Amino acid sequence: MRLITSLDDVHSLTLDLRRRGTTVSFVPTMGALHEGHLSLVRRAKSEGGALVVSIFVNPTQFGPSEDYSRYPRDLERDCEALARFEPDAIFAPGPADMYPDGFDTHIEPGNVAAKFEGALRPGHFRGVATVVVKLLNLVAPDVAYFGQKDFQQAAVLRRMIDDFNIGTRLMICPTVREHDGLALSSRNAYLSTEDRLAAPVLYRSLNRARELFHAGETRADVLAAAMRTILEAAPRAKVDYAAVVRPDTLEPAAQAAAGCVALVASRVGPARLIDNLILGPPGAPDEELIELAFEAPATSGGHTRP
């Protein structure tokens, strides 16, 4: 396992791998690794070829009042967690490496980034898209792995990869949850004992929408109202949004159908948490639901797949 901080070195490594005919899998992270991240690493490792994992807390996706300075960082611990997977490289550049003096070009995502997280966190997806383009250019992976938990991010990146004809396949993997349904997140570390007990309310609200959908309710506004009612009944939760949307555009759905996505975001204590469930047939496995949500290409000429 090789720890690389130089942009030139990681590019040279992966270029050499590709010249030798080795496929390259890539898992980009911001560190503070948990089982959700490691499930992506495990999936990438299981599919063979070379594996690169990046660890970079990207400053451009944080707003001025957000938690960039206190975002958890522990590179040594992250490297220890990754060691058992034997990645070919851990790429851990610094901010000055990724954004040197004079850096002045950014990717501006379109409509799919304008709502929900994009509306509440101005500039967030601009920072995400820009850093992902840089990472994909440096690593040039055949496949890049992202989690379903950040569904809007996945939709933004899918559109960007398709629009710019980037030769990387985007693989979206299921959300990993605690025993009580709380989606794993590095920001869960901010939760106090009381907040941690309250945080699964996000999953309960999503489950209620799914139950109603399975019972035959297809009015998206009714499903969204049911989610909001559960969230608002939790005294420690401050709701940002609850919606049922089309998976390709994230526009609110009028009638929920298989493949539509229930989205929620709420502040619980000091932590801002997001979560989602893809609606579909009862008992359908997560992988099948992800395929259902992403079955259509981002554009008529698209080539990315879930």
Give CA separation, 234 vs 149, 159, 200, 208, in Å: 21, 35, 10, 15
The DSSP code for 65 is T
Euclidean distance between CA atoms 41 and 8, whole angstroms: 23
**Over 70: is that where the pLDDT of 300 sits?**
no
Of the listed 37, 106, 124, 179, which one is catalytic?
A: 37
pLDDT tens, position by position, 191-213: 999 999 999 999 999 999 999 99
- What is the per-residue pLDDT for 270? 94
pTM over 0.75: yes
pLDDT tens, position by position, 228-238: 999 999 999 99
Mean pLDDT on 252-276: 97
pLDDT tens, position by position, 71-118: 999 999 999 999 999 999 999 999 999 999 999 999 999 999 999 999
Domains of the chain: 2-173 (3.40.50.620), 186-282 (3.30.1300.10)
**Coil, strand, or helix at residue 266?**
strand
Among 176, 182, 178, 189, CA closest to 72: 189
% of the chain residues with pLDDT over 70: 96
The DSSP code for 205 is H
Euclidean distance between CA atoms 265 and 238, whole angstroms: 9
Q: At 31, which helix (H) or strand (E)?
A: none
**Over 50: is that where the pLDDT of 303 sits?**
no
**174's tokens:** 């299921």
**Over 60: is that where the pLDDT of 297 sits?**
no
Active site residue 37: yes
Mean pLDDT on 35-40: 98
**Over 70: is that where the pLDDT of 302 sits?**
no
Taking the CA atoms of 142, 148, 82 and 185 in sequence, report the sign of the dihedral they define. positive
Give CA separation, 150 vs 4, 222, 271, in Å: 27, 24, 15
- What is the per-residue pLDDT for 306? 53
